[in-house]
Amino acid sequence: MSIWFWQKGSRLVGMIVMPLAILSGVGPAAGAEQQAVPDLQSLQIVARVLGFQTKPVTGTVTLAVVFNPRDSRSVKEMTSFLSLIPTHTSAGGVTLQARAASQYDLARFDHVDAVLSMEGVDSKLLQAALLRLHVPCLTLNLSQIEHGACMVAIRSAPTAGIVFNQANADAAGVHFATAFRMMVQEL
């Protein structure tokens, strides 16, 4: 499995043009951006990334699956993820306990260990919640880490990929372990 990392403003950007094209769904053969499809491997990548924080997460992790109730793509993506979790909740020493959360309910959240943001979620609402909660935000949608608040975009097909935005992580006060950063530096 190949895993690709990217840091905003890094010289590594030019080295990973193809993985960025794969993650965004844009490439020579694809015309418009394609919506990512949640699958079991995506869920396992989410759990493994959460284990790379400087304060390692183990055991049961509360994952807020944030969606925009006014966006049918967002609702569909959330429903797909939640359908995977009841039977496939563990990976990398982490057991995911997910709960759906409308983007409008984020201001009321007291305790979550991580956020999984769906297509169409308002970046400003998400960013405000992350600044208060100081938890990692993962997504399947590359644009949410390029122009939003999420730190990590994941993709499981056609190859596994991880795109990381350090500036978004710093803004939310989320820190990843040296091993995670070493993987970035190895590219």
For residue range 60-99, list pLDDT tens digits in order.
888 999 999 999 999 999 999 898 887 656 777 888 888 9
Q: Quick: pLDDT tens for 11-69.
A: 333 222 223 333 333 333 333 344 567 788 888 888 888 888 888 778 888 899 999 99
If you count them, how many residues does the chain have? 187
HSE, side-chain direction, 13 A CA sphere, residue 165: 23
H/E stretch holding 75: helix 72-84
Q: Quick: pLDDT tens for 135-172.
A: 999 999 888 998 878 999 887 777 777 888 889 999 99
Q: pTM, whole model, 2 decimals?
A: 0.77
* CA–CA distances in Å: residue 182 to residues 24, 34, 38, 168: 24, 30, 27, 18
DSSP conformational letter for 51: T
Q: Please report whether residue 3 resides in a domain.
A: no
Could you tell me which of 137, 145, 163 has the C-alpha nearest to residue 16?
163
Distance from C-alpha of 26 to C-alpha of 36, rounded to nearest angstrom: 12
H/E stretch holding 34: none
* Burial (CB count <10 Å: 0-12, 13-18, 19+), residue 83: exposed
Specify the CATH number for the domain of residue 86: 3.40.50.2300
Q: Please report whether residue 94 resides in a domain.
A: yes
Cα 7 from chain centroid (whole Å): 14
Distance from C-alpha of 118 to C-alpha of 62, rounded to nearest angstrom: 16
Q: Please report whether residue 29 resides in a domain.
A: no
**What is the domain range of residue 98?**
36-186
Asked if residue 164 lies in contact with residue 40, where contact means CB atoms within 8 angstroms, the answer is no
Q: Please report whether residue 12 resides in a domain.
A: no
* Burial (CB count <10 Å: 0-12, 13-18, 19+), residue 71: middle
Q: Please report whether residue 181 resides in a domain.
A: yes
Q: Please report whether residue 18 resides in a domain.
A: no
Q: Please report whether residue 13 resides in a domain.
A: no
Q: Please report whether residue 10 resides in a domain.
A: no
Phi then psi for 96, rounded to 5 degrees?
Answer: -85, 130
State the residue for tokens 């600044």: 131
Number of independent structural domains in the chain: 1
